[in-house]
Amino acid sequence: MDTDGNIWSRLSAKLTVVLSSDARSILWLTLLFILFVIGGAYFGGAESAFSAMNKIRIKAKADDGNRHAKGAMYVSNHFENALTTLLIGNNITHIAAASIATLIATRAFGASDTVTLLCTVITTLIIFLFSEMIPKSFANDRSETMSLFAAPFLIFLMKLLFPIVWFFSIISKGISKLTDRLFKVDKAPTVTEEELYDIIDTIEEEGVVNEEQGDLLKSALEFSETKVRDVMTMRQDICAVDASLPNDRILEIIKETNHSRLPVYLGDLDHIIGTLQIRNFIREYRKNPKVRIRELLIPPFPVSPDSPIDDLLSVMRQHRFYLAVVADENGKTLGLITIEDFLEELVGEIWDEDDVVDNDFVKLGGNYFQVNPKLLLSEICEKIGIPCPEPKNASRPLLSIILERLGHMPQEEDGLRIGNLQITVETIEESRVSSVTIHLLSPEEIAAEAADSGKGGEQ
C-alpha cells in the first residue's frame, strides 16, 4: 500500500511538472504572438502614414532642423525601398503570428480539423483588426505624427534588410520593364491641373484658405492661359489724344480723364506714335506752355492680341513699358493693355478713388463684362454700346431669358447665345444666379465659330 502510494505521488508530481511546463510554453508563445501582432501593426500603420504624409509640411520641419522630420523625408525620398521593407516585415509578422497561433491551439486543445479551422478564423480576425484595419486607419488620420514616430526604426530596417530589399527590387523592376513593353503606359504627371483645382476647392471647404484666397490661387493658375485679347481695353473704349491738337486742348482732355498715361496718335488710332505720361507733360507745360508733345512721348510698344499675358508681363516689366498697343498683323489698333490689366486678372477689379463703381455692370476687358442678371437686356446692351440683338426681348430681365432658354435651373458654367452675346452663368448663391459673364463676340470670332461648325457638320 505504501508502495502504491509512492507510485501515485510520483506520477502526480511528474504530471504537475509536465502541465506547468506546457502552461509556461503556451504563455511564452502567447506573448510572442502578441509581439508579432504589434509588429504587424507597426508595418501596416507605417505604410499608411508615409503614403498619406504631407511632404511639404514635413519638409518645412526638416528644414527647421527637426531630426525626425529629416528621417521621414529620407524615407519619402527612398519610398520604393521603404515600401519593400515594410512589405517584407508585414509578411514575416503575419506568417509568424499565424504559425504561433496554430502551435498554441494545438498544444492547448490538441490537433484536429475543428481546432485548426477555429484557430485560422480567429487568427485572421485578430490580424485583420489589430495589424491592418485599426493601425492603418489610425495612421492615416495622424499621418504626420505617425511618420515622424515610425521613421527611425524603419530607416534601421531599410539598412539591415538592404540585401533582401535589393534582391526583390531587381525582380520587381524586371517585371515592370517586361509589362511596360507588353502594355504601353503613358506616364501621367503626379498632379494634374484639374486635380489642383480640386485641391484648392477642398482646402477652401476645410477652412485652410478663405474664398478670396482660393479665387486668387485659381486666378494664378488661369493666368498663364489668358491671352491679351481677353483682358485688353477695346478700341472703342480707348482714351487718346491727337498729336496735332494744341497744348491747351490736350490739357483739357487730360483734366477730363483719370489716366496716368495716354496714347498719342496722328490722324487716327491706327497710327499711334507713342505714350504720353501725364505728369511729365504737366510739369513741362508749366515751364513752357509751347512744349513739343512729341519730345515727351515714350515709343509705342505693339503686341499681338494672341500673346500670353504672363510672358508679356515679364517683357513689359523688364523694359519698363506700362502700356502696350494691341494691333493685328495689318497694324490696325485693336485695343490697349496695361500692367494694371494684368494685376486685375489676378486680384480682381482695381478701383481708383475717381472711378464710379457699378457693381451691376463691370468691364473685365477684352469685350468681357460681369453683369447682374436682373438688368434688362436693353440696359445691358446700352452699357456695352451695341444695339439690342433681340428687340422683342429688350424689356425683359436677362435672368428671365436665361431660364427660358435653358429650360432648367442654371448651373455654374452653363451658357447660351443671344445674338452676338455669349452669356455664361458665373456665380450661383442660395440657388439663385447672382452674376453672369457676357462676351461680346467680334465678327471674326463669329465667322470662325461658323467655320468650325461647318467643318463639324461635314464630318
In angstroms, the CA 179 to CA 388 distance is 62
The DSSP bridge partners found for residue 404 are none
**Average pLDDT by stretches of 10, the chain with 459 residues:** 53 49 76 90 89 83 86 87 88 89 82 83 89 88 88 89 84 75 63 71 73 71 76 83 89 85 89 90 88 88 86 82 87 86 68 57 78 87 85 86 84 86 85 85 77 56
Residue 188 belongs to a domain: no
CA 149 to the chain's CA centroid: 29
285 shares a domain with 341: yes
- Hey, how many other C-beta atoms are within 10 angstroms of the C-beta on 399? 18
Residue corresponding to grid cell 447660351: 416
232 C-beta neighbours (distance < 10 Å), count: 25
Are 271 and 389 in the same domain?
Answer: no
The β-bridge relationship of strands 233-234 and 268-277 is unpaired
The torsion angle over the Cα atoms of residues 103, 107, 111 and 114, rounded to 10 degrees, is: -80
Residue partners of 90: CB distance under 8 A and separation at least 6: 40, 43, 44, 47
Judge whether 291 lies within some domain.
yes
Number of domains in the chain: 4
Any residues with CB less than 8 A from the CB of 244 and at least 6 apart, and which? 266
Considering the domain architecture, whether residues 148 and 48 belong to the same structural domain is answered as yes
Residues 25 and 171 in one domain: yes
Q: Residues 438, 421: contact at Cβ < 8 Å?
A: yes
Report the DSSP pairing between strands 368-371 and 361-365.
antiparallel
Q: Tell me which residue has cell 498697343.
A: 325
Are 149 and 203 part of one and the same domain?
A: no
- Asked whether residue 5 is assigned to any structural domain, the reply reads no
Containing 91, the helix (H) or strand (E) segment is helix 79-109
Give yes or no: residues 33 and 159 share one domain.
yes
Range of the domain at 218: 193-223
As a whole number of angstroms, the distance between CA 219 and CA 336 comes to 21
Helix and strand tally (H, E) in the chain? 18, 13
Write down the pLDDT at residue 254.
86
Note whether 259 and 333 are same-domain residues. Answer: yes
Beta-carbon contacts of residue 352 (< 8 Å; ≥ 6 apart)? 258
Helix (H, G, I), strand (E, B) or coil at 16: helix
* Joined grid coordinates for residue 258: 483719370
Q: Rounded to an integer, what distance in angstroms lies between the CA atom of residue 351 and that of residue 292? A: 33
- 368-371 and 432-440 strand pairing: antiparallel
User: Are 390 and 419 a contacting pair, CB within 8 Å?
Assistant: yes
**Residue 37: CB atoms within 10 Å:** 22
Give the side-chain half-sphere CA count within 13 A for 300: 23
CB contact at 8 A, 74 and 106: no
Q: Helices 67-77 and 143-160 meet at what angle, rounded to 10?
A: 70
Q: What is the per-residue pLDDT for 402?
A: 87
Co-location of 292 and 324 in the same domain: yes
**Cα–Cα distance list, 114 to 106, 111, 146, 344, 354 (Å):** 11, 9, 40, 76, 90
Reported as type and span, the H/E element at residue 422 is strand 421-429
Domain shared by 209 and 256, yes or no: no
Residues whose CB is less than 8 angstroms from the CB of residue 219 and which lie 6 or more positions away in sequence, other chains included: 345, 346, 347, 348
Structural domain includes residue 353: no
Q: pLDDT at position 35, please?
A: 92
The C-alpha atoms of residue 37 and residue 42 are separated, in whole angstroms, by: 9
Can you give the pLDDT at residue 6?
58
Question: Is 442 contained in some domain?
Answer: yes
Q: How far apart are CA 242 and CA 266, in angstroms?
A: 6
Nearest to 84 by CA among 178, 162, 144: 162
The helix/strand/coil state of 37 is: helix
The residue out of 347, 372, 390 marking a domain boundary is: 347
Nearest-angstrom CA–CA distance, 10 and 18: 12
- Give the closest residue to 334 by CA, choosing from 358, 310, 374, 303: 303
Q: Which amino acid is at 222?
A: E
Residues 33 and 69 reside in one and the same domain: yes
The residues, ordered by sequence, that sit 6+ positions from 277 with a Cβ below 8 Å of its Cβ are 260, 261, 296, 298
Q: Are 25 and 95 within one domain?
A: yes
Same domain (yes/no): 208, 318: no
Q: Which of 347, 369, 402 is the last residue of a domain?
A: 347
CA distance 363 to 384: 9
Residue 352, domain member (yes or no): no
In a domain, 432, yes or no: yes
Strands (E), 180-266: 233-234, 241-242, 261-266
